[in-house]
Amino acid sequence: MVTQTQFTGRDVFARTFDADTESLAAIAERLEVRGKHPFFTDVIGHYMDALRLGREEAVLELGCGTGVIPRALAKRTDVKGRITAIDISAHLVEMGARLAAEEGVAGKIDFLVGDAHSIVEPQDRFDVVIMHTLLSHVVDPATVLREARRLLRPGGRVVVFDGDFESLTFATDAPDGGAQTDRLLGVSGQAHGRVMRLMPQLLGENGFRLEWSRAYVAADIGRADFWESLLATFRTLLPKSGVMSVDDADHYAAGLERASANGRFFASCNFYTMIARIAA
């Protein structure tokens, strides 16, 4: 049986089940700041509009983190059914429940602790399963997709949004332009940097039929914007992952911050959303 606790790589976002307090605080800060950025709010709006919910559909988010997506859904007028939010980190789930209460939407969301590879919920319970930046961090994306299919009612749909993190780049003034540090970022931040390139195949192999997709580029040119909140986490998370020393991580982050202040910053990554329905 596959479980997330089997993960042994350096992806810090994949290890929230046993991360220390400092790491969890840095991860939570990044999740909350990026979740409020117009890029992410637009992405959520695009796939929710594409779903065209019209009744009391039950929605599940796997890998909810601090609950950014469930809270956003709870405020939409087209989401009338119960929202269930599951994450493997009890710390992040507790934070999500607290934030939902502060924002007045706690009554619409059920927060639970669980592993996306094997959820303790009955089959055929949900109409929509959302995986928002989850599959790049799990041990086995195919197992998670099969679990989503089990949880969905006949005709149910899965929403997968994630980055193509092998396209992630932060330009630096190093002779290679940042190629080496880009490779380190890929090791420290994603277990499956190419998973979205494989997604059409994985969806088909695991009982889904692709119905809708959309591509995005999150690029900051001149000054850091979407990527700004990630820079601060580098000082904590890159040493925690073991890919840089504390001094090297501080030097790297400081250089990117300096580039942003001087109008010389460049960072970019491709992202994709795919909506698929259970195949007949």
Mean local confidence (pLDDT), 180-191: 91
Query: Within 10 A of 76 (CB to CB), how many other CB atoms are there?
Result: 13
Is the pLDDT at 64 greater than 80? The verdict is: yes
Least confident of 17-26, 57-66, 118-127, 231-240: 118-127
The DSSP output letter for 4 is: G
pLDDT interval class at 1 (50, 70, 90):
confident
The answer to the question of residue 137 being in a domain is yes
Q: What is the Cβ-side half-sphere exposure of residue 71, based on CA atoms within 13 angstroms?
A: 22
Residue that has been written with the tokens 């956003």 in this structure: 72
pLDDT at 7 (0 to 100):
95
Residue 274 has a CB neighbour count (10 Å cut-off) of 23
Cα(141)–Cα(147) distance, integer angstroms: 10
Judge whether residue 187 has pLDDT over 90. no
Residue whose tokens read 């790491």: 23
Residue 257 located in a structural domain = no
Torsion sign (Cα): 199, 191, 86, 150? positive
- Domain presence at residue 234: no
pLDDT tens digit sequence for 232-254:
899 999 999 999 999 999 999 99
- The CATH number assigned to the domain holding 97 equals 3.40.50.150
Percent of the chain with pLDDT over 90: 94
For 90-123, the DSSP string reads: HHHHHHHHHHHHHTT-GGGEEEEE-BTTB-SS-T
Sequence-distant (6+) residues with CB within 8 A of 41 are 35, 72
> Does residue 149 lie within any of the structural domains?
yes
Q: How many domains does the chain have?
A: 1
Containing structural domain, residue 54 = 10-164+192-217+270-278
Question: Has residue 280 got a pLDDT over 80?
Answer: no
Q: Is residue 138 part of a domain?
A: yes
Q: Is residue 42 part of a domain?
A: yes
Identity at 191, one-letter amino acid code: A
**What would the mean pLDDT of 70-91 be, rounded to a whole number?**
96
What pLDDT is attached to residue 55? Answer: 87
φ and ψ at residue 101, rounded to 5 degrees: -65, -40
In the structure encoding, which two tokens stand for residue 16, read together?
Answer: 């929230």
pLDDT at 133: 98
Exposed e or buried b per residue across 3-30, where buried means at least 16 C-beta atoms within 10 angstroms of its C-beta: ebeebeebbbbbbbbebeeebbebbbbb
> Rounded to two decimals, what is the model's pTM?
0.96
Would you say residue 240 lies in a domain? no
- Does residue 142 sit within a domain? yes
Span 120-132, pLDDT tens digits: 877 789 999 999 9
| Per-residue confidence (pLDDT) for residue 238, from 0 to 100 | 96
Contact present, 158 and 131 (Cβ < 8 Å):
yes
Q: What is the pLDDT of residues 202-228, one digit of tens each?
A: 999 999 999 999 999 999 999 999 999
Q: For 188-201, write each residue's pLDDT tens digit.
A: 988 999 999 999 99
